[in-house]
Amino acid sequence: MESAADLLALLHDTTTEPRADAQLDALTLAVSADLPVLLWGEPGIGKTAALNQLAEELQLPLTTVIASVHEPSDFSGLPVVGDDPARQGVPMAPPDWAVRLVRAGHGLLFLDELSTAPPAVQAALLRLVLERRVGALRLPPGVRIVAAANPRSSSADGWELSPPLANRFVHLRWTYDHDVVVRGLGGTWPKAALPRLDRDRLPEAVTFARRAVCGLLAARPGLVHRLPNNELGRGGPWPSPRSWEMTLRLIAFATAAGTSREVLSMLVRGAVGDGPGLELLASLDRMDLPDPETLLADPAAAVLPERGDLRQTVLDGVVAAVRSRPERSRWDAAWSLLVLALDTGAPDLVVVPAATLAALRRDDWPVPAAIDRLSTAVSLSRRADQATLGAGEHR
C-alpha cells in the first residue's frame, strides 16, 4: 500500500504553464468580478478538475456541495428551537460547510450537479446565489460561487433550471481542447490566474461599460427584459435588469483588464443570451469607431478600421457628415479619406461612398486629382459585379 500511495502521489504531481485559454480566462474574470458562474458541459469533460485547479492556483479553499443530494433546508437553514421561541424566535442554523467558509473568510464554493437538483432545492438556492445567505448566516465577500451542470439530455434524472435561478448566473459552455487535454495528461495544465486590472483605467472602464449598456437599452427597450417562451431557453441566459447589471460589471472588468473580444463575447452572451449579447458586441464595435468630424479635421492622421464592415460604417459616416454640412474643405478631406481607404483596404468599399460624395459636388468646386484613381476603382468594381451577375444568369 505504501508503494501504491507513492505511485498515486506521482500521478497527481502536475505543473501548470501560461497558455491562452479563452474559457479559463472567462471563468477567472467572472470570478474576479464576484459573479456566480455556471459551467455547462457533458459529463467527464473536466469541469470539476478545472475548479480544483482554479482553487489551487488562487490559493482559495474549495468547498464542494453536491446540490442534488441535499434537502432545501440545507440551504435555507435548519430551525433550532431555543429556550423561549415566543420571545426570541426560531433561528435558522446554517450547515457546517457554510460555517467553515465564514471562519476562513474566503473560499470557492462549488455547487456541483446543479441540473439534477429538484425544483424545491433550486428554490432554496436562490437566496444563496444572489444574497450569499445560508439560513441566518451571510457568506463573507471573499467567497466566490461557481456551479456546474450537465445538459438535461446527459444528466442523471435531470431537470431544467428554473428561470429565477438561471437568471442569477453567468453561463459558460465548457468544452475540451484536444491539445490542452493531451498536454495536461502529460503533466502540464494551463495556469489559471485572475486578470490584472489597470488601476488608471478603472474610472474609464466604468464609464465605458455604462455607456455601452445604457446606449443599447435606450435604443432597444425591448431588450431590457425578455423571458424566453420555451423551457430550455428559460433555463439558460436571458436578458433582465439583473443580467444587464452583471453584463455591465463584466464589461467594466474586461475593459480594465484589457481582455480579448473573444473572452468578452463568451461572458456577455453567457449573461444575457446570444441575441442580445451579439447586439451589444456590435454596438461596442461602433463605440470604438473614430468620430467622422475628427477624421475630416485631419485626414492625414486618420487610421481606419481594418475590418471591412467597420470601415464601411466609418466611410458612410464621413459622407453623411459632409452631406449635413457641405463645405469644400470638408468635401476635399472626405476624398482624401476615400483614397486612404483605397490604399489600405478592399477597393469595393469605396464604391458607394465615392458615388455619393461625387453627387454632393458644387459647381464651383474643382474636381480633386484623387478622383481619377477612385473612378478607376469604381469602374473596375462595377465591371466585376456585372461579370459576376452575368455568370450567375448563365448558370
Q: So what's the pLDDT on residue 389?
A: 47
Q: Is the pTM of this model over 0.75?
A: yes
Q: 311 and 370 share a domain? A: yes
Residue 175 sits in the same domain as residue 315: no
Is 133 found in the same domain as 18? yes
What is the structure's pLDDT at 84?
60
Examine the domain organization and report whether 134 and 251 are in the same domain.
no
Say yes or no: 50 and 167 in one domain.
yes
In a domain, 303, yes or no: yes
Do both 222 and 109 map to the same domain? no
pLDDT at 230 (0 to 100): 87
At 279-308, the pLDDT tens digits run: 999 888 887 788 889 999 998 888 888 888
Task: Give the pLDDT band (50/70/90) at residue 375.
Answer: low
CA–CA–CA angle 104, 249, 76 (5° rounding): 45
Q: How far is CA 323 from CA 273, 292, 328, in A?
A: 38, 12, 11
**Could you tell me if residue 128 is inside a domain?**
yes
Query: How many other CB atoms are there within 10 angstroms of residue 170's CB atom?
Result: 29
Q: Give me the domain span that covers residue 339.
A: 292-393
- Exposure b/e, 182-199, CB count within 10 A at least 16 = b: eebeeeebbebeebebee
267 and 151 inside one domain:
no
Domain end point (choices 234, 265, 287): 287
Q: How far apart are CA 243 and CA 272, in angstroms?
A: 6
Residue 126: Cβ-neighbour burial (10 angstroms; 0-12, 13-18, 19+)? middle
Same domain (yes/no): 34, 156: yes
- Note whether 326 and 361 are within 8 A (CB): no
Q: Do residues 108 and 55 lie in contact, with contact meaning Cβ atoms separated by under 8 Å?
A: yes
**What Rg do the C-alpha atoms of the chain give, in angstroms?**
28
Note the pLDDT of residue 384: 45
**pLDDT of amino acid 388:** 46
CATH number at residue 126: 3.40.50.300
Instruction: With respect to residue 208, please indicate whether it lies within any of the assigned structural domains.
Output: yes
Residue 240 lies in a domain: yes
Domain count, the chain: 3
Mean pLDDT over 58-80 rounds to: 83
SS3 content of the chain, % helix, strand, coil (to 5): 60, 10, 30
In a domain, 8, yes or no: no
Q: Does residue 317 lie within any of the structural domains?
A: yes
C-alpha cell at 3: 508503494
